[in-house]
Chain A
Amino acid sequence: MTTGRSDMAHADDEVRLQSAFDATSAAHDEAQVARITRRVAHETAAAPQQRTRWAALGLVTALAGVAIAVLTFAGRPDTRVHRTPVSVPAAGASASLAGSEEDLDTDAEWSTDVLYAEGDDLLDSSLDLLHDDDALAALDDLEDGEG
């Protein structure tokens, strides 16, 4: 009962307040509405163009990044070490000895190539050192110190 009276009082409040708000609301101004509508149409039409510009800039940046990555990795020397597992016949496995010898020969050739190549590199480095005055001076200092 109390709640019912309270609801009615609230409804009555709202009706009277609504009248007061309606009586004091801004007069409808069609020119103002038209002005706002034009302004909004203009401002919101510019927005997608801006989005397109940002999208284009993003695309160019992404393409440039991909190009730099490709050039970087394409010019990089292959420093990976290719190791072929050497097959060593197990003790007593004489039945497959012939095939294993072939494998060993192949592996040995490959290993020899690697050794020669690394030996050449080592030799080149040593020769470089012999022509490097600073290195020779350092060597002399070392020998003097030991002496």
Chain B
Amino acid sequence: MIRSALALFGFARAGVAPLEDARLARALSGDGAAYASLVRDHVPVLLRVTQRVTGDADLAEDAVAETLAVAHRQLSRYQPGTSLRAFLLGIAVKRAHTLLRAERRRHHRETAAEHAPTPSVGPEAALRGRELTVRIRAALEALPRKRREAALLRLDGGLEHAEIATAMGLREDAARALVSLAMRDLRTALDAEQTV
């Protein structure tokens, strides 16, 4: 009975982990298609985070592509069985900020309002959405770096505290504290503007 249960458990795990392990092994050996298939499901959330940071769809796309290239080079550091999404998001947040800083230095970046993503709703709601997007980005930029990263990983990345800790190289209680502080600061900043 117990053996059957263990076998079932083993079988259940075998249904998921070995497939990812196999793709990971192929990706490490240089199979680009295997790597792309490994990370494809995470691309939307990476885009969401990088677009939040950059406020620009093209820049966000570049940030995601660079993130995945960096992640591929660092793939040997990834521990199979841990959150691949956290691994990728940890890199993505940093790459997006780096690209944004570079873009600002070149003075080619247009205003966030002109490039904010357009929700598929009516004109008034879209306007409100754009305004809120700009304010959220301003509030995020006002946060200290680690709090900003924690907020992005939590609210746009959808990561649990343990995953945020992995992504940021912190202990879980430190990640939890950072998220809490970031939430308080964001709330205060947005309440001050009466937007949320």
| A47 at the binding interface (Cβ < 8 Å) | yes
| A33 at the binding interface (Cβ < 8 Å) | yes
| CB-contact partner of B27 in A13, A37, A38, A44, under 8 A | A44
Contact with A along B4-44 (1 / 0, CB 8 A): 00000000000000000000000101111101100110011
- For residue A27, which residues in chain B have a CB less than 8 angstroms away from its CB? 117-120
| B94 at the binding interface (Cβ < 8 Å) | no
Of the listed stretches A15-23, A67-75, A112-120, A138-146, chain B binds A15-23
Q: Are B69 and A24 in contact (CB under 8 A)?
A: no
Q: Are B119 and A23 in contact (CB under 8 A)?
A: yes
Q: Are B47 and A33 in contact (CB under 8 A)?
A: yes
| B61 at the binding interface (Cβ < 8 Å) | yes
**Secondary structure type dominating chain B contacts:** helix
The answer for the CA separation of A40 and B180 in the assembled complex, in Å, is: 35
A13-B184, A17-B186, A40-B65 known; A26+B32 contact, CB < 8 A: no
| B113 at the binding interface (Cβ < 8 Å) | no
| B60 at the binding interface (Cβ < 8 Å) | yes
| CB-contact partner of B39 in A20, A40, A51, under 8 A | A40
Q: Are B196 and A20 in contact (CB under 8 A)?
A: yes
Q: Name B45's closest neighbour in chain A (CB-CB).
A: A25
A interface residues, Cβ below 8 angstroms from B? 10, 13-14, 16-18, 20-21, 23-29, 32-33, 35-49, 51
A47-B30, A47-B73 given; 8 more Cβ-contact pairs under 8 Å: A17-B155, A21-B156, A24-B116, A27-B118, A33-B40, A44-B69, A48-B30, A51-B30
